DNA sequence: TATGAATGAGGCTTCATTCAT
DNA sequence: GATGAATGAAGCCTCATTCAT
């Protein structure tokens, strides 16, 4: 393993507290107390509170990018229909977002508290991610299986809004499993972007 | 007039700063400076910084509730089809949310920073709002025009996610007008919840 | 009076502690404790610890410039010989520097701890001061009463080195009065820059 | 060799940083980074940050003392006139101080940051040095070649002020060589302390 | 000899709020 | 109604030094 115990404990505590109380409302003191380490030890590994926040973003962005890349690559390898690839992508994003809901909560709420340069990096990586997603949409549109009368930017927003909104309503203790939510949200999305029967 | 100049100036400044920099990052000093009033004057009208935040929520929630009530009432009065009423509601919510985007930004980002009791009130009023929206959905399902195979909670989330996500991507300087976005997002939503051709 | 009690007390305490222990070694806590005010009150009037340091510099620089201006102006008014004007200037600088020795100590030791822009301002104002002093030297050289074989920059340094060095050796409790020191150091300086008997 | 590489590197880095940024503003971390060694290694050779500062003083004091002793001894050996010996001493001090300007800068600025006992030692060695210098002055006064109407303490201060002030104005990139400065400052000093024509 | 993670005390600053006027 | 000086608690971060390896 590459990360020491201190790093792990601190990140775990930070994630927990940030997602629960918010970034601004959580003090470094609380974090180190929850992690069971001293402030000095924490600052040995992280150069600022902002660093902790970014580390959380970084992990989430990396993870999602890797999964997207992998699913797209696998689909290409197998020659899957674009609709099937997109469905796999969407279901995976939703399921992963549920699995990493605390990260997602922090992501949505606290992006504006990152240092400007880091905020820019997050935006850049998010844009890259969206572009890969858009490529699938565009291919579907070209192939005539997705509707072409709505800007792709809006279609992208339409899907990712669901992903970001999960933490506002979904609870793992509720009646729906993550898989069900993933399947149903994906189905709603796909139905809304499908070529309508009479469409040209 | 009901509100004095001080109240207006302060709320305007607070909204501007909270939506731009975030609630936690904005000091009371900055707000009063931007509003051109003194701290004492501000504290004469608002009992705390939290009060300012809540006032912003209050206005937005009242506004949206009033508009929803009005549209539903008008639809009932005219005996409009439920699909038409829902369309009107959705388009209005989107358009209004664009018009009040700063409020929406604050709403999404800073809800967790409100005092607990106020947070509870916001949740309650939001729930009431959603219940009125759900009534429309349920009526449509009962009438057989909307699909019944997806929980209404998910359909609600599916729509309001778009509304909350607007500030993440929409810019009034872009190619799309607010009306176009309202119409297109509504259309995407309605298509996804409509009874499918072969559905029972 | 323009300054409140808090400002006065704080500056007095800061001057005392900075000159005694050094700027870096003195904590804001110590200053406010010595001044008998709270930290918050201090930060109401001074925006940083650096501000305190600069305030000390500012007062000293303003004072010295004002005195120099006045003496030069008076000399011009009365048509005094340049040597007499220079003597008056030098004696005054030395005497004033003894009177404000704590300020001078801080000045010498802690200039490099000022924020860069303030350091630049101090340098600028010091240069202006030196230029006015240099004008006297130059006039004396032109009139043939001061030697012309040594760069004025060195003559300036030769005199002000004595001024800065006072705090290293002079004590008001010693055998020499401030006036005596002023007169003797001035005499040493004037003798060293006078035209030598056989000089051309 | 007596000093290991680590010691040399660390002292070199410390001198550079202390003279540039000041002692208090320089962290041990910066020093070891600049020296290319680790903290542990540094603390193996130096017991504290204060130790580094003192080592710089120690070297400078030893050097200057050695040179003074040597020049005085040589003068005695050759039976040189006191004025010639003093001239040699002064020119050497100035030239050496220019050569070791960083050390001098640190010396002037940071003496008050040494631990009390070390500060006392520095003062003691400085005093010894001055006493040897004073002996020359006194001899000259007794021989009637230097003026006797000014306390020797002031004459000493008058000379060493120039030495300490060098770093405030002299730059090796300027028009004057170190030798020229040494000669001219010495000449100014000697002229000011010489017996005046009409003096008794 | 040397490493570098960890300590723990202390530093500077911010800020929502109060209160005498 | 309105002022703005003052409070006091808390916040983030730095750093010289130690110590197990």
Subunits with 3+ Cβ pairs within 8 Å of C are D
Query: How many inter-chain contacts (A to B, CB under 8 Å) are there?
Result: 96
* Band of pLDDT at residue C102, cut at 50, 70 and 90: very high
* pLDDT bracket for residue C48 (50, 70, 90): very high
C171 touches strand E (CB under 7 A): no
Residues A13 and A108 in one domain: no
Q: How many domains does chain C have?
A: 2
Same domain, B187 and B99: yes
pLDDT tens for each residue of D16-55: 999 999 999 999 999 999 999 999 999 999 999 999 999 9
Which CATH number do you get for residue A93? 1.10.357.10
By CB neighbour count within 10 A (0-12 exposed, 13-18 middle, 19+ buried), where does A157 fall?
buried
Position A1 scores a pLDDT of: 38
Per-residue pLDDT tens over the stretch A19-73: 999 999 999 999 999 999 999 999 999 999 999 999 999 999 999 999 999 999 9
The span from the CA of B8 to the CA of B10, in Å, is 5
Residue A184 to residue B154, Cβ atoms within 8 A: yes
Name the pLDDT band for A197 (thresholds 50, 70, 90): low
- Asked whether B81 and B45 are in contact (CB, 8 A), the reply is no
Q: Which pLDDT value is given to residue A5?
A: 86
In a domain, B147, yes or no: yes
Q: Are residues D34 and D111 part of one domain? A: no
| Shortest Cα distance, chain D CAs vs residue C103, angstroms | 15
Contact present, B81 and B94 (Cβ < 8 Å): no
Pairwise pLDDT comparison (D1 vs B122), residue with the higher score: B122
Residues of chain B with pLDDT under 50: 1
Residues 6 or more apart whose Cβ sits within 8 Å of residue C30:
C17
- Is C58 found in the same domain as C15? no
CATH of the domain at C31: 1.10.10.60
A38 and A114 assigned to the same domain? no
What integer is the mean pLDDT of C38-63? 96
Residue A44, min C-alpha distance to chain B (Å): 26
CA atoms within 13 A on the CB side of D154: 24
**How many Cα atoms within 13 Å fall on the side-chain side of residue C142?**
8
Q: Is B98 domain-assigned?
A: yes
The answer to whether the CB atoms of B188 and A150 lie below 8 A apart is yes
What pLDDT does C195 receive?
A: 82
Determine, yes or no, domain membership for A198.
no
pLDDT at C1: 38
Query: Mean per-residue pLDDT for C144-161?
Result: 97
Task: Express each pLDDT in D98-136 by its tens digit.
Answer: 999 999 999 999 999 999 999 999 999 999 999 999 999
Distance, CA of A76 to chain centre: 23
Report the mean per-residue pLDDT for chain D: 94
Phi and psi at C25, nearest 5°, equal -85, -10
Please give the residue range of the domain that contains residue A137: 48-193
Mean pLDDT across chain C, nearest whole number? 94
Mark whether D114 and D187 lie in a shared domain. Answer: yes
In a domain, residue C121? The reply is: yes
Q: How confident is the model at residue A195 (pLDDT cuts 50, 70, 90)?
A: confident
Per-residue pLDDT at B195 = 82
Q: Is residue A199 part of a domain?
A: no
Residue C47: Cβ-neighbour burial (10 angstroms; 0-12, 13-18, 19+): exposed
D88, D180 Cβ separation under 8 angstroms: no
> Is D200 a member of any domain?
no
Please report the pLDDT score of residue A156 as a whole number.
Answer: 98
CA distances to C61, C98, C124, D158 from C170, in Å? 21, 8, 28, 11
pLDDT over 90 (residue D2):
no
Q: Same domain for D23 and D113?
A: no
Q: Are residues C105 and C158 in the same domain?
A: yes
How far apart are alpha carbons D141 and C20 in whole angstroms? 36
Residue with tokens 């050996």: D77
- pLDDT (mean) for C127-143: 97
Contact flag, residue A44 CB and nucleic strand E, below 7 A: yes
Nearest to B157 among A150, A154, A169 (CB): A169
Within this chain, do residues A143 and A103 fall inside the same structural domain, yes or no? Answer: yes
Q: Which nucleotides of E are covered by protein (CB under 7 A)?
A: 1-20
Q: List the structure tokens of B163.
A: 């509304």
Residue B6's pLDDT is: 87
Is D199 among the domain residues?
A: no
pLDDT tens digit string along C52-81?
999 999 999 999 999 999 999 999 999 999
Instruction: Return the closest-CA partner of residue B104 out of B48, B25, B160.
Output: B160
Q: Which tens digit of pLDDT belongs to each residue from A138-191?
A: 999 999 999 999 999 999 999 999 999 999 999 999 999 999 999 999 999 999
Reduce the secondary structure of chain B to three states and give it as a string: CCCCHHHHHHHHHHHHHHHHHCCCCCCHHHHHHHHCCCHHHHHHHCCCHHHHHHHHHHHHHHHHHHHHHHHHHHHHHHCCCHHHHHHHHHHHHHHHHHHCHHHHHHHHHHHHHCCHHHHHHHHHHHHHHHHHHHHHHHHHHHCCCECCCCCHHHHHHHHHHHHHHHHHHCCCCCCCCHHHHHHHHHHHHHHHHECCCCCC
Contact C168, D111 (CB under 8 A): no
Q: D71 and D7 in one domain? A: no
Q: For residue range D61-108, list pLDDT tens digits in order.
A: 999 999 999 999 999 999 999 999 999 999 999 999 999 999 999 999
pLDDT at A3: 58
Å from the B37 CA to the F1 C1': 13
B200 lies in some domain = no
CA–CA gap between residue B93 and residue B97 (Å, rounded): 6
Q: Are residues C30 and C113 in the same domain?
A: no
Is A200's pLDDT higher than 60? no
Q: Are residues A54 and A66 in the same domain?
A: yes
């Amino acid at each position: 393993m590459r990360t020491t115990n201190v790093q792990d404990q601190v990140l775990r505590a930070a994630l927990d507290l940030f997602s629960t109380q918010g970034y601004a409302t959580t003090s470094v003191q609380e974090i180190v107390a929850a992690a069971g380490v001293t402030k000095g030890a924490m600052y040995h590994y992280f150069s600022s509170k902002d660093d902790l926040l970014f580390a959380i973003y970084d992990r989430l962005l990396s993870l999602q990018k890797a999964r997207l890349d992998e699913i797209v690559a696998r689909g290409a390898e197998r020659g899957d229909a674009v609709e099937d690839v997109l469905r796999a992508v969407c279901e995976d994003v939703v399921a992963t977002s549920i699995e990493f809901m605390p990260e997602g909560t922090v992501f949505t709420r606290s992006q504006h508290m990152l240092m400007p340069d880091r905020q820019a990096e997050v935006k850049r990586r998010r844009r890259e991610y969206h572009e890969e997603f858009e490529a699938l949409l565009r291919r579907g549109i070209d192939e005539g299986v997705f509707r072409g009368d709505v800007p792709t930017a809006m279609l992208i927003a339409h899907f990712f809004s669901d992903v970001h909104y999960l933490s506002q309503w979904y609870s793992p203790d509720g009646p729906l499993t993550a898989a069900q939510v993933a399947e149903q949200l994906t189905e709603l999305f796909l139905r809304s972007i499908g070529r309508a029967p009479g469409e040209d």
